[in-house]
Structures are given as structure tokens and as C-alpha cells.
Amino acid sequence: MKRKYFNISILAGISLVLTGLWTGCTTDITLDLPDPEQKYVVEGSIEPGMPPFLTLTSTVPFYGEINFNELDNYYVHDAEVIVSDGVNSVTLVEYCLSEIPEELKPLVAEFLGIALDTSGDFPVDICLYTVPDIFAGTPAFVGEIGKTYSLTINHNGNTLTSSTSLMEPVHMDSLWVEPHDDIENDSLVRLYVRLSEPEPLGDYYRYFTSRNQEGYYPGFTSVFDDKLVNGISFTFTLDRGFNPAEEFNQDTYGYFWKGDTVVLKWCRIDYPTFDFWRTLEYDSGTDGPFSSATIVQTNINGGLGIWCAYGAAYDTLIIAE
């Protein structure tokens, strides 16, 4: 058992009747926190014409010490990972990106939606599970619209399961940009889209954007449902997806630049996928001592995380200089 110490500064709004003074106090609180149970964390996906990709890690103690130079210690290796569409199944193979041949790195980067650094390497070493014939041209096991994909993971006597449905993609009617409201920022533009949302009620979506082939990134709020727009055509804006490796700039967040080539990846998803990303993004966007706790939903039985199918549609827009 580890003992943690906290110092909490409390502004005491106490009106002292005799003096009329306000006072502040500091209280030392000692908390005995048990070691947390270590759990598996899954992040996996499949989309039309693409093989499944999955990372498998273990949880990090919230109050523990984290050495970011040793993050590879949290990857779970040598697991049996099986994906099935109810008829065919495939056992995934583990690859670490640092071990991939040089000529295959651009292909893997495209699959993962990440950008290579200036030296042609991946910015971080990721270990993932995917199909064994990933480098043999067209993989035999890829996502097909309308199918449900089950996931089974076995490791050290533990079993994790999940399933997800690959929905029919919904395409945008049109994409265009409008200039920044401030004329002094005339190099920045805002992305607009028009969508005819289909019947019936109960569709869920997630989006990503790619700027100049720099990888696909979601916005801070990347998931939507059709409760207010079911069956209608409407126009709205989408923020440029944010690369977490970049420094956040409030003045340019959400905007694109003139001359950019933009690819919008608009994904139709099932409800468990929507619920996971909705709760995760809400939790990531709330902090401070008075924020309420958020329980991030998961569709992984026996673990945490998400196994999701993206009914992805892609649209490209070249922004004029």
C-alpha cells in the first residue's frame, strides 16, 4: 500500500462576527490509496477494405510514477487476438513499428493515419496487432459493410471479448471553406460541410481530417448523433483535427490554411463506439477541482477501451491560394 500526501489550499469564506475578517487556511490531508488493479486496454478498429488494427496495453497507476522513456513496457505482447465476421476469422500478428522494413513504413503510416517524421521514421514506436499478410499486397481479411466483427483476446489466462458493426457510409453533399472573420488572419479558412442525414433516427458519426497528408486526426469533439438533424439537409462547420504532437495554438485551432489539401474522413459508427468517444472526450475536456467525474464507457468485456468499426467515407478539398 502506498501513502500519498496532498496539500489543499482552501479559501474559507467565514464571516467572523467580532472582527468582520475573512480568513484562509491550509489543511494537510493524508490519504492511503490501495494499489489499483491492473487492467487491459484495447484500441482497435476496422473499416471497409482495410484490415483490423489493434493496440493492447495495460493500465498505468493514476498516482504512480511514469517514465515516458519506458512506455513500451505497457504494451501487452504475445497475446492471442482473433477477429471473426461470423464466417471467416483471422488470428492477428504483433508488429512493432521499429522492426518494420524501411520500404513498408509509408504503407503502415497510411493504414494508421499518422505521419512519419523528417527522418522517415515513426514519431513513436507503437506495437500493434494486425493481419499476418499485411505486407503481401491486398490482405485477405478486410472490413465489409454490413458485417459484425467479434473480437477475442486471450493472454495469461485472461479473456477479453467485444463486437462491433460496420455501417454503410454516409457521404457529404459538399465541402467548401469560408475566410476567417478577422481580415488580419486572411490566410486562415474555416471548413464548411453540407450533409443530407438519412432516415431513420439513430445514426452516429465520428470525423477525422488530414491536412497535406499529415495523418488523420479527430477534433476535440469528434462524435455526433442525429437527434436534432434526422432526415434533413443542413450545413455546419468542422474543426481541423488536432495533432497531439503539435503545440496547441488557440489562434489557429480548428482552421485550415489557404493552399492546403484537406481530406475529410466521415465515419458512420454504432452506438457503443459513439458512447465511448463521447464520454472520453467529455472527460478529457473537463478538469479543475470542482469538475464532476466522468465514467468513460467501454465495449470491451473483461477490459477497457474500444473495438470499433468505421463506416468511412472520404472527401478531398484543395483550398485555393
Check whether residue 21 and residue 100 sit in a common domain. Answer: no
Same domain assignment for residues 127 and 185? no
All 3 cell numbers of residue 316? 478531398
Q: Are residues 11 and 87 in the same domain?
A: no
Closest CA to 176 of 248, 238, 92: 238
101 burial (CB, 10 Å; 0-12 / 13-18 / 19+) is: exposed
* 11 and 49 inside one domain: no
Rg (alpha carbons) of the chain, rounded to whole number = 23
- Could you tell me if 272 and 195 lie in one domain? yes
Residue type, 282: Y
Q: Are 313 and 178 part of one and the same domain? A: yes
Cα separation, 82 vs 80, whole angstroms? 7
User: Which tens digits make up the pLDDT trace of 61-73?
Assistant: 555 554 545 566 7
Report DSSP state, residue 303.
S
CB atoms within 10 A of CB 307: 29
pLDDT tens digits for the chain (321 residues)? 333 322 322 222 323 333 343 344 555 555 455 556 789 999 999 999 999 999 999 986 555 554 545 566 789 999 999 999 999 999 999 998 888 877 777 767 766 667 777 666 776 678 899 999 988 778 999 999 999 999 999 999 999 999 999 999 999 999 999 999 888 888 999 999 999 999 999 999 999 999 998 889 999 999 999 999 999 999 999 999 998 878 899 999 999 999 999 999 999 999 999 999 999 998 765 444 444 556 899 999 999 999 999 999 999 999 999
Place of cell 500519498: 4
Supply the range of the domain harboring residue 14. Answer: 2-33
Same domain, 203 and 300: yes
Which residues, 6 or more positions from 5, have their beta carbon under 8 angstroms from its beta carbon?
28, 29, 30, 31
The answer to whether the CB of 300 falls within 8 A of the CB of 55 is no
Please state, in angstroms and rounded to a whole number, the distance separating the CA atoms of residues 132 and 149.
Answer: 18
Please tell me whether residues 27 and 118 are part of one structural domain: no
- Whether residues 314 and 237 share a domain: the answer is yes
Give this prediction's pTM: 0.81
Rounded-to-integer distance, Cα 164 and Cα 150, Å: 7
Q: Return the closest-CA partner of residue 53 out of 99, 109, 98.
A: 109
Looking at 144, 165, 186, the residue that finishes a domain is 165
Same domain membership, residue 222 and residue 94: no
Q: Which of 148, 165, 182 is the last residue of a domain?
A: 165
In angstroms, the CA 253 to CA 116 distance is 22
Is the domain of 178 the same as that of 307?
yes
Which residue bears the cell 522494413?
101
Domain count of the chain?
3
Q: Which amino acid is at 148?
A: T
Domain boundary among 165, 183, 205: 165
pLDDT in tens, 173-187: 999 999 998 888 889
Q: Give the Cα-Cα-Cα angle 161, 162, 168 (nearest 5 degrees).
A: 155
